[in-house]
Amino acid sequence: MVQPSYPKKFNILVAALKTPSDPSRGPSGNPTVSRTGFTLQQINLENGTNRIAGPIVAPPPPSALAHTAAIEVASADYWDPLVTPPAPLYLKEEVSLFDRYIVASEEFGSTLGSGAGPVAAIATQLATALNLYPDVDAVSVASTVYITSHRPDGTLPIKATDDMSVVLGSAPFEVYGFGGILLSVGPEYRQTFFVVRPTKFQSPPISLP
């Protein structure tokens, strides 16, 4: 699959008249123009297909009021081998967006797991790790990481825990949809959630006067 690309926006001319032209009436017979065209933009998608609509809309920076999804660091109880020696059947927790994974105690939260904490420091490191993704922005506020997707996909696939949550009976990382809706509810902690984008990736075609 190829990476999405976004050629520059362009204008097309369209004959859109409110009233017809009548040259026999002189200047008063000139038509009334409703629009002369539209501004559009093409998107080349990962699967090789193209889409044309209005110009790309830049989403606002992630915050508690503007985000695609959020991850709450509910506890520091994920297993961290640097804090607690290995135990039978213990797995490292994972956070995934799209088809990429980051591992707790490796890419973020090292020496802060196995109950060490604090959760706000874990959230800060998680946001830093997610900002390495090319298609998202993330920011941490206290124990919550707010995430905004920049991809043209209508949904954001996100998972914030794995089989270890089943063993422990709780999830150290909880997924929230837009509006504070909790999605990570037991026993389906390890489910991948497809969170719908709250804002459109493209605007409607812009009418040219």
**What digits encode the pLDDT tens for the residues 140-194?**
999 999 999 988 888 999 999 877 777 777 789 999 998 889 998 877 777 899 9
Instruction: Look up tokens 């008249």; give the residue.
Output: 17
Burial letters 11-33, b for 16+ CB under 10 A, else e: eeeeeeeeeeeeeeeeeeeeeee
Q: What is the mean pLDDT of residues 109-126?
A: 95
Between the ranges 7-11, 76-80, 125-129, where is the mean pLDDT highest?
125-129
Tens digit of each residue's pLDDT (9 = 90 or more) over 52-87: 999 999 899 999 999 999 999 999 988 899 998 876
Residue 35 has a pLDDT of 86
Q: What is the DSSP string of 34-84?
A: EEEEEEEEEEE-TTS-EEEES-B-PPPPP-SSS-SEEEEE--S-S--TTTS
Average of pLDDT values for 128-132? 96
Structure tokens belonging to residue 30: 């000139």
Predicted TM-score (pTM) of the model is 0.85
